[in-house]
Amino acid sequence: MCSQELYKIDLKALKDEATSLAFDLSDDFFAALDGSQLEHGALHVSVSIRKMTGFFELLFHTVGTVTVSCDRCLDDMEQPIDTENRLLVKLGDTYSEDDDTVTIAEDEGVLDASWFVYEFIMLAIPIKHVHAPGKCNQAMTQKLEELSGAARSSEEEAEAVDPRWGALLKLKETSKM
């Protein structure tokens, strides 16, 4: 099991103006997060922290892959992730999040970056994820085509208009004259 302590950054302990951290994320990271929609992935996260007057600027660079379900055939597929995100953190009285600024309690001074990293990864995944053309599960694709409305038998095409609507069509035609 992955310890979430690895992703806690003690901002008050930072001495230098610039600090670099690195995290390697695996399946254990996603399993340790409550409510995670992802289960599998292999990612590398580089964090650059700049200590400035009154706040900290954190730059996250995340590279790797996560496993998601294909929207078309439902098989697992590798989704590449390459994203850069910025987070501003300042010390204050209580914890709060406003836009891209997070305020953490000054007496603690520790930022748990795990959920922010997870959110950055989720935002990098496209809304629609499908395999490259020809890579979907052929059996599922064939079944989908059979069950779709576009694949109609010749009987259904011959009976194009429901006979119950025939009387209404006659009325429509006579009203045009």
The pLDDT of residue 150 is: 56
Res. 154 pLDDT band, cuts 50 70 90: very low
Res. 1 pLDDT band, cuts 50 70 90: very low
Three-state DSSP at 174 gives: helix
Angle (CA) 8-12-14 rounded to 5° is: 85
Q: How many residues in the chain? A: 177
Q: What integer is the mean pLDDT of 155-171?
A: 68
Three-state DSSP at 33 gives: coil
Q: How far is CA 164 from CA 6, 57, 149, 158, 159, in A?
A: 69, 69, 21, 15, 12
Q: What integer is the mean pLDDT of 111-129?
A: 91
Report whether pLDDT(53) > 50: yes
What whole-number percentage of the chain has pLDDT above 90?
34
Q: Does an H or E element contain 115, and which?
A: helix 114-124
Three-state DSSP at 18 gives: strand
pLDDT in tens, 66-86: 999 999 888 999 999 999 999
Q: Which long-range contacts (CB under 8 A, 24 or more apart) does 39-42 make?
A: 39/67, 40/66, 40/67, 40/76, 41/65, 41/66, 41/67, 41/81, 41/121
Cβ atoms of 82 and 44 within 8 Å: the answer is no
